[in-house]
Structure 1
Amino acid sequence: MSLEKLSNNQLLHLVDNGNLDSHFLENIEKEINLRGLEILEKEQFIFSSSLKIKIILSSLFLFLFHIKASSLFFIQYDKKTYRKYWMYFNIGVILKTTLFLIYVRYCL
């Protein structure tokens, strides 16, 4: 595979891939240095308590909002942040479903 034919963006995305051979990564880093590019680390996003509560409470509606927000997390940050977002979403769905079933069972 010729690294010279790859675009700058493709090279930078290859560096993020953790499944590549170390020898191949060295070649990629050499090519990046030849082109004078910088490898930028993705910043970590910390979920505030208010955002967690907002995600949990709005999990049964506003689906388009959740899809757009999670997509932004996936693009701007890493997969870990994306998965955390959907974890809080799922907690909200499970919590509301459980509360609904308890209400139906004992109050109706």
Structure 2
Amino acid sequence: MSFSLKIEEEHYVPYSFAKKILQDLISNGTSSTILQRTFEYLNSVAKCSSEDALKIMDELKEIIQREDVRAVIASICPTTIEEVRSILVLDSGKTYTTEQIQKIINIVKSHMES
């Protein structure tokens, strides 16, 4: 029996969302050493729930157009201007104001686990 999969869409996702996907796979009996190690790593670095990470990505749409940059911010959850600026260099085609960066920090902080 053979089957093929067709990728219809591709998206960047934050760490905590990837962790949830792996957790679901492992819970349903699909597991391997690499899945388990990846899950453990993501579990150690996730700073908010998958729902909150997706909310961060959604709220950042009005400031940051690039999905990959939003995913990095929702994964790392930067809380200082310097941390945000170091991520925003990925978006070399755009300049962000200090006000926009502060808004990014406020969005992230409003969804982080304490």
Classify the TM-score, shorter chain. Answer: under 0.3
User: Of the two, which has the highest radius of gyration?
Assistant: 1
More helix by share: 1
* Alignment TM-score, normalising by the size of structure 1: 0.26
